[in-house]
Structure 1
Amino acid sequence: MNNLLNETFFKVFLIVCLVPGILLIGKAFLLLSPIIFWVLSYMAYKKEDQNEAIMWIIFAILGLILAFVI
């Protein structure tokens, strides 16, 4: 799992998290939640806490799903 979580992954994941905010400007919290979770996962990654980083990545993915569905 250490090979998957690196700087490039977080840069690409940030772009993916920004897509709903760019496409669907309006629903503030639902669109910002993936970005907030991305920040939390990146902070956990910088603390070298892989389990916490994965948890926040999962929340960010769920936030992306909610942003596109609602």
Structure 2
Amino acid sequence: MVQTLKIENMHCGACVRRVTMALNKIPGTEAEEVQIGAARVKTEAAPEVVLAALAKAGYPAQAE
């Protein structure tokens, strides 16, 4: 499943890297495209798992 996410607290390239790393740590998940404020993610994980991982990394998100 592909999810499009709106992500808060992203302000720079370092934020993009941290979000990408947080997403790629989730089993069965690949960050396809991460930009400041948004991401497209291919995942086998439940949406709440993805959102919880981002919140834990300091980047609250919501599915679009």
TM over 0.5: no
Scaled by the length of structure 2, the TM-score of the pair is 0.35
Structure with greater strand share of residues = 2
Larger Rg: 1 or 2?
Answer: 1
